[in-house]
A and B are shown apart, each in its own frame.
Chain A
């Protein structure tokens, strides 16, 4: 009985609303175009939407495409944007398909994918600051001791170990101060 209840709640959550009924959608701009006499810009946006499959009992990503108005001409191809459905239009433009959504804002612009929460540049799973910090650490601890030609190999290795100890002691002292 518990298992069936769990499945029923999952089904309800997935089929509660479709992507068309969603109040807010995040999507990727795939195509641009212009319509009307004033040539207002519009964009075709690919929005990923998770759908529940009864047989496999899993959520699968199925993307849906929407055309959205961009009256301020903010978007360009490759941007990740948030779109909202338009309830009423002041001056509707005639087109072959009805345009039902409007672009609210650009979250990740193409060419400058900055995380809006931390305001840092991110390469997939790592921040650029962390990569630079790691690089500087390696250069200071491992490579600089070997650049000193006057020392022998064993002395260089001792220098490396000494630097590692200093860093570890710094971390320990910081953690003690925070506690």
Chain B
């Protein structure tokens, strides 16, 4: 897939493709491949945004430089009348082809400015500065590649001129600043300049949309979570449709069953009341609540620990352990009961009546 396809330019293209990977034993391997595809695609976009042309032949047209007539006179000698009607052998000495590299550079810059319709003396405008810097970047990068050509009689490629490549990067950053200002002042002028000079400007993303999952591990973990939520949502939607389909009918069935059960319960309670009445028991509702004789048992609750014969004997039935009392086993058959509460209900269980 090429980067120029409109589908691939979608920022969430690879995340959407990750949802289509089947949930097999090779799911994570599929995510790994998808990550590397995204990485290389992102790398291509970054390199194009920086305007560095890699892997192209060393020709000025490949670097975005316009065609220049090298048989033209240099601008220093353009106004001389004698050269206008002179011999070609004399005239060609004062042309760009027989000049320095500097003359060629100036001719490229002038051609780019003429393509935009900008005069060479309006140095204050931003579009002039953008065109000037693009020409600089392009003929410097051409020079950089020309310096690495293997000369005849040599084996190895000469090293990259770092003094030049650092300047190119600095100029690219300066140009991005100028483009940002141009875009803020007038978008029409910016679009016109970008179209003619064939610039690729990368709009900076807002803070909320910045990518957080930079490494492969984080990206795969995020995709797995996405997939889990996506599958859950689909299942919930299917369940909801299933429940909503026969909802009214099911609610009616439940209501009918409830009514039947209530009628059964009422009949059973009626029968139980009749039985109680026949046996002579009180089957009505009690008003109030039962209160124990606290005042009469007052001395028992307070001096319960001091009265020794109220304590349980080893052969007696001891109640179950709880937070209220604890059974401590000693040597032999003896046991000791430790009482911790003062609750009436808990102490009643230890009363001599029960023992």
Whether A59 is near chain B, meaning CB under 8 Å from some CB there, is no
**Could you say which of A113, A153, A156 contacts B184, with CB atoms under 8 Å apart?**
A113
Within 8 A of B (CB), among A119-161: 121-126, 131, 134-135, 138-139, 146, 152-153, 156
CB pair B185 A113 closer than 8 Å: yes
Whether A48 is near chain B, meaning CB under 8 Å from some CB there, is no
Q: What total count of A-B pairs have CB within 8 Å?
A: 52
A131 to B123 CA separation, bound complex (whole angstroms): 10
CB pair B208 A33 closer than 8 Å: yes
A110 to B180 CA separation, bound complex (whole angstroms): 11
Whether A31 is near chain B, meaning CB under 8 Å from some CB there, is yes
CB pair B79 A146 closer than 8 Å: yes
Within 8 A of B (CB), among A81-133: 110-113, 121-126, 131
Whether A173 is near chain B, meaning CB under 8 Å from some CB there, is no
Give the size category of B's interface with A: 10 to 19
**Could you say which of B119, B122, B186 contacts A113, with CB atoms under 8 Å apart?**
B186
Q: Which residue of B lies closest to A112 (CB)?
A: B186
CB pair A153 B80 closer than 8 Å: yes
For residue A147, give the distance in angstroms from its CB to the closest CB of chain B: 12
Interface size on A, residues (CB 8 A): 24
For residue B335, give the distance in angstroms from its CB to the closest CB of chain A: 62
Q: Which residue of A lies closest to B127 (CB)?
A: A123
Please list the 8 inter-chain residue pairs (A to B) with the smallest Cβ-Cβ separation, ordered nearest first: A111-B187, A113-B185, A135-B119, A126-B124, A131-B125, A153-B79, A135-B122, A152-B81
Which chain A residues lie closer than 8 Å to B206 at the CB level? 31-32, 77
Within 8 A of A (CB), among B166-204: 181, 183-187, 190
A33 to B208 CA separation, bound complex (whole angstroms): 9
CB pair A78 B184 closer than 8 Å: yes
